[in-house]
Amino acid sequence: MSTTQNLPLIAGQRAGKPIRCITKLEPVFQRLQQAARRNHYWATIAVKELNALTTGVLGKNNVYVRPGKSRTKNSNELYYVFLPGLKATVVRWPDDQFCITELNLDDNYFRATEQYADRTRMGLYRAHKDQDQKSWRAESVPNGKILQQSGRLIAVADARYRHASAAAADTVPRAMELLGIGAAHSSVNGADLHFTPGRKALGGLVCYNPLAVTRSRGSAVLLAKSMADARDIEGVTWVADHGGSAVLTQAMQILATKGITLEKHTVYLYKPRTSPANALRLAHQLKVRLNERFADTGYSMRGALSQYSVAGLRLDNEDDPYSKSYHSRVLLNGAQKVAAPAGVLAAVIGGQVGIAVAGIATVISGAGLLQDLGKGAVERFGYRFKR
């Protein structure tokens, strides 16, 4: 039977908690270290974060306990560490040492940041239009650093695209329209894109808490590094598109825990599939520049309620430009947007409560609103895996 004393020691030789791994994983960890010494971006982050376990697991935003499976058969504490391209299973022994028992790497991990890798790897890309100005192309940025340009736009895409160029074509123009950036600007400057591979969108009604979305954790570690590296660039704007809100919110949580602030940056959420309230609280912690309009939640009742739940925090924050008059307009606009869904809800509820809800829906609905709702429905149901 293996004990902590006869397993390879990979970190904590001089200080902190000893970190070991089972014998068959030692060659894998050695290869990670070798790749890190060659400046392999993902490996560098992985080795650094795994070594950070010497200070324990508290405050580590990429360390999680799986509900219902927090201990091994021997009652040792069980943790999962999510990093770019890999997941590590870590056991905490009774003597307060840690042992890595599993290290699952994505296929082609060690070539994932090579210059000629394909367009499906996780991370940062430069997005620009082709010469014909009709299509978008995305090129990988191996070091994960955004273009050092004042006013740079970074779109954080959802995980539902086959490759980064498809994500750029769908996400970047929408972000530019949201910010009022013209075609001339996009032709000359382009934008940056943070890409998370995956066939399914992130977040949603079942997993609305952004900090509980597991598929975006490794990507969030990379995004947090990009954000930290860019903190001195003036006027950077991060726009999370749909489920990209999970990645951005998790990245913001990592930065907040590390005490990093982004006073020169701005954050927006476009139709987030996770709670905008969580992101707003973190935006205050990071001291980002906020406009009155922080998130466009579209026709999502849950999104509107999430925003309303933090209205008081915004009004009480002297650095937040959110005002009572703007809040009143948002409240009315939000009520109009949810009118038709409320009517549907009323039909489901039935009884006196249903009649009351239906009455409210009828009062604040109108022909123009129903037309807008129709357009919103088309967009919502057309939101699918992009080719």
pLDDT tens digits for range 282-329: 998 999 988 767 878 777 766 666 665 556 566 666 676 554 555 455
For the ranges 21-25, 53-57, 313-317, 346-350, which has the lowest average pLDDT? 346-350
* Whether residue 142 has pLDDT greater than 90: no
Q: Cα(334)–Cα(364) distance, rounded to whole angstroms?
A: 11
Q: Report the distance separating Cα 351 and Cα 110, nearest Å.
A: 61
361 pLDDT tier (thresholds 50, 70, 90): very low
Give me the residues paired with residue 126 across strands. 139, 192
| Lowest mean pLDDT, pick from 28-42, 129-143, 216-230, 360-374 | 360-374
Mean pLDDT over residues 7-11, rounded?
89
The pLDDT assigned to 165 comes to 94
The tokens for 317 are 């924050």
Query: Quick one: which of 279, 281, 236, 276 has its CA closest to 124?
Result: 236
91-99: Cβ within 8 A, 24+ apart: 92/57, 93/4, 95/4, 96/17, 97/4, 97/17, 97/18, 97/19, 97/20, 98/17, 98/18, 98/19, 98/20, 98/53, 99/4, 99/7, 99/19, 99/20, 99/21, 99/22
CB neighbour burial string for 156-166, b if at least 16 within 10 angstroms, e if fewer: bbbbbbebbbb
Which residues does residue 265 pair with via DSSP β-bridges, in sequence order?
236
Q: For the purposes of burial, counting CB atoms within 10 Å of the CB of 384, is it exposed (0-12), middle (13-18) or buried (19 or more)?
A: exposed
Looking at residue 1, its pLDDT comes to 45
Q: What is the pLDDT of residue 4?
A: 63
Contacts of 47 (CB under 8 A, 6+ apart): 32, 33, 36
**3-state SS assignment for residue 32:** helix
The 3-state DSSP class for residue 240 equals strand
pLDDT digits (tens, 9 = 90+) for 57-77: 877 777 877 655 778 777 888
Segment (H or E) for 50: helix 41-51
The set of residues, in sequence order, having a beta carbon less than 8 Å from that of 237 and lying 6+ positions away, is 151, 152, 153, 154, 179, 265, 266, 267, 268
What is the bridge-based pairing of β-strands 136-140 and 123-129? antiparallel
Q: In this predicted model, which residue has the larger pLDDT, 82 or 113? A: 82
User: For residue 254, what are its two tokens?
Assistant: 């990592």
Instruction: Report the pLDDT averaged over residues 84-113.
Output: 86
| Nearest by Cα to 154 from 291, 250, 247 | 247
pLDDT single digits (tens) 195-206: 999 989 999 887
All residues at 6 or more sequence positions from 58 whose CB lies less than 8 Å from its CB, including other chains: none
Helix (H) or strand (E) holding 79: strand 77-83
Q: How far is CA 135 from CA 105, 158, 190, in A?
A: 33, 19, 12
Beta pairing class for 153-156 and 236-241 = parallel
Q: Mean per-residue pLDDT for 114-135?
A: 78
Question: Does an H or E element contain 41, and which?
Answer: helix 41-51
**CB–CB of 122/218 below 8 Å?**
yes
